[in-house]
Structures are given as structure tokens and as C-alpha cells.
């Protein structure tokens, strides 16, 4: 049964012994982050990392409690998605993708139950909800909420777990993304949507339309015709290039939900295609539709059970320096220009709970969310790369720095084809290093990967470099958002790939001897003191 809201989720965590309430007064500026960082890197008696979820009931100078580290372990991620294994979600996705086109009347009849099941995932709009218990349009102040400053060199306090709702100005489709927001003052905040994010594309599309009307009011809408216009539109979300004469005026509506049920929060980070709405993904994950309510001052819908909703606008002609910010790479992302969010309304539940997270050197809470994305979306990657067997994005590689891939190799050069396929897939295009191994290598076993990769490669022959877009947080790239990437072909080399030497067998014990020792192993472990 799906969690009704954040409070239902908190109750489940507490019943499972996965939540600790902190009654000691602690400061949202640095102190909560330091406590959470220590907890997230701790191990329990079994050696499991992550520590418990934390509910700070007495944040200094605030009446609103703070929930953090709610997803900060593998067990809690499984609980959040209500599965025993993350592969269960992947299997459900795979079943939907395996549906064949019906060949006759009986096939169509057989599909009806599945179609009915899919129908129940679609979101539905209701007249009101708990998030409307308090509606404020005057005397607004973002500082009412205990927004954290996580690291000493952060530019200020940042909202770090917001579900940011925008609408495509061309199609009208909604998008829910997660973009950090630096609090500038009580009514404005930075909107850090990096250029590859859907929210940033909605913003750029509005810029294109406004600029076209300003420059060629009688021509069809499209890109401005003057040289460099495409680059200008690309750079205005997290870039310093502004056209001579400034940006076109206008407003873009935005709504931010803070403190949603876990499926909705998780859906905001998944790398879904733009055509698939996150509310639908959340419905699929929770096996029940998300109930939405209309906002008060903008034409957008937010989850009815949200703890806090912030409504407002981004002004097209306003950019402001946002950052530095201690990021998930373990380094500070530097200040850059981003749009500014202007608050027009706040709605919240009675006695709201402020949900947040911190990022920094792994492992942190985001590591477990990222590993869940890896497992859940593997079937979707296989649609484009059918030879794919498994992938591993090691936590220490902060996801965009390293992807280890195993494939079923069936023709020469296939590993390089797979590298290029990965670099063409959505946010996977930012992967700095791709390592491709054969299907018999367990990519989840870093020890085995290290042994096989370093034994299998001839560096000059098997390492290739390419140039292209890189993650905005890659501080080592030669230019912001543009740099090099590396692929390593660690598969066995074939004669058809120009390798004429014999390839040696791996050292493995024969099955008969292993079975013989297995029969004696219980006695031997006693004699060897290995019990």
C-alpha cells in the first residue's frame, strides 16, 4: 500500500527502527549538516553504512522540524519504493516494455488487464488537499523555514530537496525536477537548473519565443536570427553570456513542493524522457495515482499532500550569481549566473515538516538514491543497448565520473559502439569514463573489475578519447560544460580486432576438486580456526 504522504513515510521509518528523533537544539547553519554527515558515513553493528533517518525537532530559531537522510541506506530506498529488491521495480518496467502488439481479438482481450493497470497510474486533480491548510500571499518569508547551510564556503542557505514543477510552453506538459535553490532573501531564490535539465529547457523555450517576438514580431516563433543567438539561449541557464541589450522580458511560472511522499521525491531525480511525466512515474512506483491540487497564484499543479508549497515566477530578463555550493562531487561548485525565483504564495500543512538533504563527499544520502536509479532504469538502457548485461556507477565516482558496463560481445569493435551509445543517452552523455568488460565479469565487484580490466588492456590500443558535453560540475574540464571523455575496452580481444596472440585461460579450480573440498569444509574450518 502506497504511503499517503511524508508523515505516513516517517511513521513507517519509525516502526522499522530506521528513524531517530533529535530533541537537542541544533543550528540549521552548518550544525545539522555536520551531524548528518557523520551519521551518513557511520556503520551499524552489522557493518552496514548509512545510519538512520533523522528528524531534528528543535532547529535553532525555527518552529518547523527538519527531516534528513530519509533515503540514506539501501534498506530505506527499498522501503521507499515498497519492494524487497530494487530489481522488482526493474522487472515491472521490463514487463510493460515486453508487451507485444496484439495480433487478434483474443490478444487484445488479454491486454485489457494490463491497460487497466496502467490507467490507474495517471495523476488526478482534486479540489483541495492538506497542503492548502495554510495559504499565505502576504508577509512572505522563505526564512520562516529552517533551510540549511551545509558547508562553510556555501554562498548561503540552500533548499536542496525541492520538487520543482514547470510546464513546457509549447506542449503544455508538466515536468518535475530537483534543482537546488539558494535563498537570496525572504522572497527570492536562485533557480539552479543546469542546462541539460528539462526546467532549463522550458526556460530557454520561453526565451526563444520572447526574443523572436521582440526581434521579428511578424515571423513564426523560433530562434532569434542573429549570430550567436543559439549560444546565448544555451548559456543563460548557468552561463555568463548575455546578449547585447539584455534578455527579453517575461515571466515563467514555477511551483516548488517540499516534503512529498518518497515516490514523488524519487521521481523528481529520475532521468526520464521529457515525454514521460514524473507524476506518472510516481504513480507507477507507488501503484496508486498521485493526487494533485491547483496552485493559488500560478497555473500549475502540485501534490495535494505536500508539506510545503512555494509558488512564484522566474523573470526571463533576470540572472544573478548563485553559489558557491558544496556539491556531491566532494568539491564546491563555483558561482555562476542563474535565473531568480520570485515568491508569490506559500501554502503549507498545519505543523509542516521541512524535508532536506546534504551532499558532499560520498557516501551521502544521494548515493543510495543514485544507485536506485541505476537499478530501476537498467531495462530502459537495454532498449537502446540490447547487448548490455549490467552496469555499475560506483558511489565514489559520483555517478557522472565512472560507469562500468558488461556486455555480450558478438562482433569486433562492439565495446566502442557501446561507449558511444552511452554517450548519446540523456544524462549518461556526461559520463567521464566508461569501462566495458565481458559478460562474465561481475561489474558490482570492484576487486574483480580491477583485476580483469588491468590484465585485459593494452593502454594505447584499448583507450579512446572523445570531446563533447560534460557535467556542469566537472571543475577539471578545459571549458565549462565542454571537455573530454575516456572509454576503455577491457573485453577479450579477438583476431578480427587485430589480436593474433593466444588469450590465456583464467585460473579456476576444477569442479570435482571444489566438490571434494566442500564436503570436508565444515571439519576443516574447525581445524583451521575459521569458524
pLDDT of residue 243: 55
Range of the domain at 391: 385-497
Residue 210 C-alpha from the chain's centroid: 31
Burial class (CB in 10 A: 0-12, 13-18, 19+), 237: buried
**404-439 b/e with 16+ CB inside 10 Å = b?**
bbbbebeeeebbbebbebbbeeeebbbbbbbbbbbe
Cα–Cα distance measured from residue 13 to residue 68, given in angstroms and rounded to the nearest whole number: 12
The reply to whether 429 and 346 lie within a common domain is no
Q: Is residue 473 part of a domain?
A: yes
The reply to whether 341 and 436 lie within a common domain is no
- The predicted-structure confidence for 241-273, as pLDDT tens digits, reads as follows 555 556 777 899 999 999 999 999 999 998 877
The reply to whether 132 and 248 lie within a common domain is yes
Beta carbons of 195 and 236 less than 8 angstroms apart: no
The reply to whether 397 and 319 lie within a common domain is no
The reply to whether 312 and 400 lie within a common domain is no
Read off the CATH number of the domain in which 305 is found. Answer: 2.30.110.10
| Mean pLDDT value of segment 492-502 | 94
3-state secondary structure of 97: helix
pLDDT of residue 479: 93
The reply to whether 487 and 428 lie within a common domain is yes
Q: Is residue 524 part of a domain?
A: no
Q: Is residue 294 part of a domain?
A: yes
**42-79 b/e with 16+ CB inside 10 Å = b?**
eeeeeeebbbbbbbbeebeebebbbbbbbbbbbebbbb
DSSP state of 29: B
Specify which of 179-183, 219-223, 524-528 reaches the highest per-range mean pLDDT.
Answer: 179-183
The reply to whether 294 and 437 lie within a common domain is no
The reply to whether 254 and 396 lie within a common domain is no
pLDDT of residue 275: 80
- The predicted-structure confidence for 402-421, as pLDDT tens digits, reads as follows 999 999 999 999 999 999 99
Q: Is residue 519 part of a domain?
A: no
Annotation marks residue 510 as catalytic: no
pLDDT of residue 349: 98
Residue 121: pLDDT over 90: no
Number of domains into which the chain is organized? 2
pLDDT of residue 99: 54
Q: Is residue 222 part of a domain?
A: yes
Residue 454 C-alpha from the chain's centroid: 31
Residue 226: pLDDT over 70: no
Cα–Cα distance measured from residue 44 to residue 85, given in angstroms and rounded to the nearest whole number: 21
Query: In the chain, pLDDT over 70 holds for what percent of residues?
Result: 89
The reply to whether 346 and 423 lie within a common domain is no
Give every CB contact of residue 193 below 8 A, 6+ residues apart in sequence. Answer: 164, 177, 179, 199, 200, 203, 237, 238, 338, 339
Please state, as a whole number, how many other Cβ atoms lie within 10 Å of the Cβ of residue 380.
19
- The predicted-structure confidence for 447-495, as pLDDT tens digits, reads as follows 999 999 999 999 999 999 999 999 988 999 999 889 999 999 999 999 9
Q: Is residue 368 part of a domain?
A: no
Q: Is residue 341 part of a domain?
A: yes
* Active-site residue (options: 5, 327, 390, 471): 327
Residue 62: pLDDT over 50: yes
* Residue 287 zone, left/alpha/beta (φ > 0; ψ -120 to 50; rest): left
Give every CB contact of residue 229 below 8 A, 6+ residues apart in sequence. Answer: 211, 223, 243
pLDDT of residue 45: 77
The reply to whether 345 and 253 lie within a common domain is yes
Read off the CATH number of the domain in which 478 is found. Answer: 3.40.1670.10
Confidence class for position 105, pLDDT limits 50, 70, 90? low
Angle ∠(56,59,62) on CA atoms, nearest 5: 130
Beta carbons of 256 and 250 less than 8 angstroms apart: no
Q: Is residue 377 part of a domain?
A: no
The reply to whether 290 and 394 lie within a common domain is no
Angle ∠(323,355,268) on CA atoms, nearest 5: 75
Residue 141: pLDDT over 70: yes
The reply to whether 143 and 236 lie within a common domain is yes
Amino acid at each position: 500500500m502506497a504511503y499517503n504522504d511524508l508523515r505516513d513515510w516517517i511513521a513507517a521509518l519509525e516502526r522499522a527502527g530506521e528513524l531517530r528523533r533529535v530533541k537537542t537544539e541544533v543550528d540549521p547553519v552548518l550544525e545539522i549538516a555536520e551531524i548528518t554527515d557523520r551519521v551518513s558515513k557511520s556503520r551499524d553493528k552489522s557493518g552496514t553504512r548509512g545510519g538512520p533517518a533523522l528528524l531534528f525537532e528543535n532547529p535553532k530559531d525555527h518552529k518547523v522540524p527538519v527531516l534528513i537522510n530519509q533515503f540514506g541506506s539501501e534498506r530505506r530506498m527499498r522501503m521507499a519504493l515498497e519492494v524487497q529488491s530494487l530489481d522488482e521495480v526493474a522487472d515491472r518496467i521490463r514487463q510493460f516494455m515486453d508487451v507485444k502488439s496484439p495480433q487478434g481479438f483474443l490478444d487484445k482481450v488479454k491486454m485489457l488487464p494490463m491497460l487497466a493497470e496502467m490507467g490507474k497510474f495517471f495523476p488526478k486533480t482534486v479540489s483541495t488537499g492538506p497542503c492548502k491548510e495554510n495559504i499565505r500571499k502576504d508577509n512572505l518569508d522563505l526564512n520562516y523555514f529552517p533551510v540549511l547551510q551545509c558547508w562553510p564556503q556555501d554562498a548561503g542557505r540552500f533548499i536542496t530537496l525541492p520538487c520543482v514543477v514547470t510546464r513546457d510552453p509549447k506542449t503544455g506538459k508538466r515536468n518535475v525536477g530537483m534543482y537546488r535553490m539558494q535563498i537570496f532573501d525572504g522572497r527570492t531564490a536562485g533557480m539552479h537548473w543546469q542546462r541539460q535539465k528539462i526546467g532549463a529547457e522550458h526556460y530557454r523555450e520561453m526565451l526563444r519565443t520572447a526574443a523572436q517576438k521582440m526581434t521579428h514580431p511578424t515571423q513564426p516563433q523560433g530562434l532569434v536570427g542573429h549570430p550567436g543567438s543559439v549560444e546565448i539561449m544555451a548559456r543563460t541557464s548557468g552561463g555568463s553570456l548575455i546578449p547585447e541589450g539584455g534578455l527579453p522580458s517575461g515571466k515563467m511560472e514555477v511551483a516548488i513542493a517540499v516534503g512529498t511522499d518518497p515516490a514523488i521525491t524519487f521521481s523528481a531525480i529520475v532521468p526520464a524522457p521529457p515525454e514521460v511525466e514524473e507524476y506518472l512515474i510516481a504513480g507507477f512506483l507507488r501503484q496508486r495515482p498521485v493526487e494533485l491540487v491547483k496552485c493559488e497564484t500560478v497555473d500549475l499543479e502540485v501534490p495535494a499532500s505536500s508539506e510545503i508549497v512555494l509558488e512564484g515566477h522566474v523573470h526571463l530578463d533576470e540572472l544573478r550569481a548563485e553559489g558557491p555550493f558544496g556539491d556531491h562531487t566532494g568539491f564546491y561548485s563555483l558561482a555562476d549566473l542563474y535565473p531568480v525565483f520570485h515568491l508569490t504564495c506559500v501554502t503549507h500543512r498545519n505543523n509542516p515538516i521541512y524535508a532536506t538533504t546534504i551532499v558532499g563527499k560520498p557516501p551521502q544520502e544521494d548515493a543510495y538514491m543514485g544507485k536506485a536509479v541505476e537499478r530501476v532504469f537498467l531495462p530502459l538502457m537495454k532498449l537502446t543497448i540490447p547487448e548490455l548485461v549490467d552496469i555499475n556507477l560506483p558511489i565514489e565516482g559520483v555517478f557522472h565520473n565512472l560507469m562500468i558496463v558488461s556486455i555480450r560481445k558478438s562482433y569486433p569493435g562492439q565495446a566502442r559502439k557501446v561507449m558511444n551509445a552511452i554517450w548519446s543517452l540523456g544524462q549518461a552523455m556526461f559520463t567521464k569514463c566508461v569501462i566495458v568488460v565481458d559478460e562474465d565479469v561481475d561489474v558490482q565487484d570492484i576487486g574483480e573489475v580491477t583485476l580483469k580490466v588491468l590484465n585485459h588492456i593494452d593502454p594505447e590500443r584499448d583507450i579512446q578519447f572523445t570531446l563533447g558535453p560534460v557535467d556542469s560540475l566537472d571543475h577539471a574540464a578545459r571549458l565549462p560544460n565542454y571537455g573530454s571523455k575516456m572509454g576503455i575496452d577491457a573485453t577479450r580481444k579477438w583476431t578480427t580486432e587485430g589480436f593474433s596472440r593466444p588469450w590465456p585461460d583464467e585460473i579456476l579450480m576444477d569442479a570435482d576438486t571444489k566438490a571434494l573440498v566442500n564436503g570436508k569444509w565444515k571439519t576443516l574450518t574447525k581445524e583451521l580456526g575459521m569458524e
